[in-house]
Chain A
Amino acid sequence: MTRDRDSIIAAMTEELTPVRGFRYGDGVILVSFALFLSVLGVAYVNGLWSGIVKVEAAPFFWITNGLLLLLGLASASAAIAAASPYVGNRHDAPRWATAMVGVLPLAALISLLPDGHGMAIVEDPVGIHCFTHALATSSFTGAALILWLRRGAPVSLNLAGWHAGLAAGALGAVAYGLSCPLNAVTHLGVWHVLPVALAAVIGRLAVPRLVSW
Chain B
Amino acid sequence: MIAEEATLARLMAAAQEGDKPAYNVLLSEAGMWLERYFRRRVPPHQLDDLVQDVLLALHHKRATYDVTRPFLPWLAAIARYRWVDHLRKVYKHESGQLEDNDAFEDSHEDVVEARVSLERLFVHLPESQVEAIELVKIEGLSIKEASERTGQSESLVKVNIHRGLKKLSALVEKAD
Contacts and interface: CB of A to CB of B under 8 A. Distances in A.
A167 B63 CA distance: 24
A84 B18 contact: no
A131 to B, nearest CB: 30
A157 B169 contact: yes
B31 A1 contact: yes
A60 interface: no
B105 interface: no
A21 B13 contact: yes
Tier of interface size on chain B: 35 or more
A18 B16 contact: yes
B80 interface: yes
Nearest to B18: A18
A50 interface: no
B24 interface: yes
Given A8-B56, A153-B61, A155-B173, A87 B115 contact: yes
Nearest to B117: A87
Contacts of B154: none
Tier of interface size on chain A: 35 or more
B31 A5 contact: yes
A213 B61 contact: yes
Query: A interface, by DSSP: helix, strand, loop or mixed?
Result: loop
B91 interface: no
A155 B31 contact: no
Contacts of B172: 85, 87, 155-156
A206 interface: no
Contacts of B81: 85, 155
A13 B14 CA distance: 12
B74 interface: yes
A5 B23 contact: no
B173 A156 contact: yes
A21 B65 contact: yes
Nearest to A13: B24
Contacts of A153: 57, 61, 64, 78
Given A21-B13, A86-B173, A88-B173, A12 B63 contact: no
Contact of B55 (A9, A16, A22, A156): A9
B67 interface: yes
Given A8-B52, A19-B62, 6 more contacts: A4-B52, A5-B48, A86-B74, A151-B63, A155-B77, A155-B81
Interface of A: 1-2, 4-5, 8-10, 12-14, 16-24, 83-89, 151-153, 155-159, 213
11 contacts: A5-B52, A8-B56, A12-B27, A12-B56, A13-B20, A19-B62, A24-B66, A85-B64, A87-B116, A89-B173, A155-B78
Closest 10 A/B residue pairs (Cβ): A85-B77, A18-B18, A88-B175, A153-B61, A155-B81, A19-B63, A153-B64, A87-B116, A87-B73, A89-B173
